[in-house]
Amino acid sequence: MAERAAGGDEVPRGSGIIEVRVRDVWQLFDSMDPSPFLERDLDRDAEEYIVSSARELSSGSPIALVVHLDGRARRGEDARVVEEAIREHFARRAELTRRELRQLLHRGWISLMIGLSFLAAALIGGASVVRSMGAGPLATMLRESLLIGGWVAMWRPMEILLYDWWAIRGTRRVYERLARMPVRIVVAGAPASARRSERASVPASRAPDRRASRESLDPSRFTVRLFDEASGKEIGRISETDLAFLRAVLEEERPDDTDYWINPDTVDLLERRGGSAHVIALLRAATGGDPDGIDVAFQRSGEPRETLWGQSATRLRRGP
């Protein structure tokens, strides 16, 4: 399938490429993090994959991240925000790792002073035992025990100062490279008919005008019916764009997940993710503030009813 750039940085020639494929850029970020977008952490799995990939690439060459989207392209300014959010995440990680290294070394030097003091006391104590008790077996045993205890006290500071800090320093360098890397957003090309349809429904200019508002409220756009799966009651109608947004945000974590439902917290999440006022109002009214929420199914004209996460509504049942 053809791909086209949606925005972000140019990838320098000769860079090591880390490629990630997701349905929507929101999948890269932690959905539970309430921070503003630019301060939001990456999803744990996404961060682990990017970091492990960066470790495999040569440390002497630049690296770049290319995000392949299976869904609709974002605007150029949105791609720029995503790019900055990813780099900002790794800049925070680098700073946290730098602090961790500084604290570890500080603790190592303090531990070294304590260990040396204890070792000196053990040596002095062993010598005193030999002087007071003579060179008998008991005195020898006490002296050796003190000596062993003194050297054991040196184990932890030596471990920190000789070995532990290298791993943290290496991780910090990886984060610093990732905080400087170019980020490119690439989307899968849509069929020509879909692109013509998209151009017909999306105004060419971003500046809002009355004509665009009338087009966005055109009832003929709302061709998808939403239902409460348990009662079969129709919730309302939404557009194909709204449906694509819902399915992207509510994508299942595992193929066997069948316990998704929409409750007030989910509606708040959808609103934060940029859901349209129309779909947010429909779902907020449908849940009615009930924390248990509802299972939602959708239906296009002439097609069977489906849940938002890809299961047949006739086969999905809420557990006891």
Residue 242: per-residue pLDDT: 79
Q: Which long-range contacts (CB under 8 A, 24 or more apart) does 242-245 make?
A: 242/275, 242/276, 242/278, 242/279, 243/298, 243/308, 244/71, 244/72, 245/270, 245/273, 245/274, 245/275, 245/276, 245/279
Ranges of each domain in the chain: 3-92+180-188, 102-173, 222-307
Residue 255: per-residue pLDDT: 45
Residue 4: per-residue pLDDT: 53
Residue 206: per-residue pLDDT: 34
Residue 34: per-residue pLDDT: 75
Residue with tokens 């990680």: 93
The verdict on pTM exceeding 0.85 is no
- pLDDT tens by residue, 213-267: 333 444 456 778 888 878 888 888 888 787 877 877 775 444 444 445 788 888 8
Residue 256: per-residue pLDDT: 45
The stretches in the chain having pLDDT less than 70 are 1-9, 37, 71-79, 188-221, 251-260, 307-320
* Whole-number Cα distances in Å, 237 to 182, 196, 279: 41, 23, 8
Residue 73: per-residue pLDDT: 47
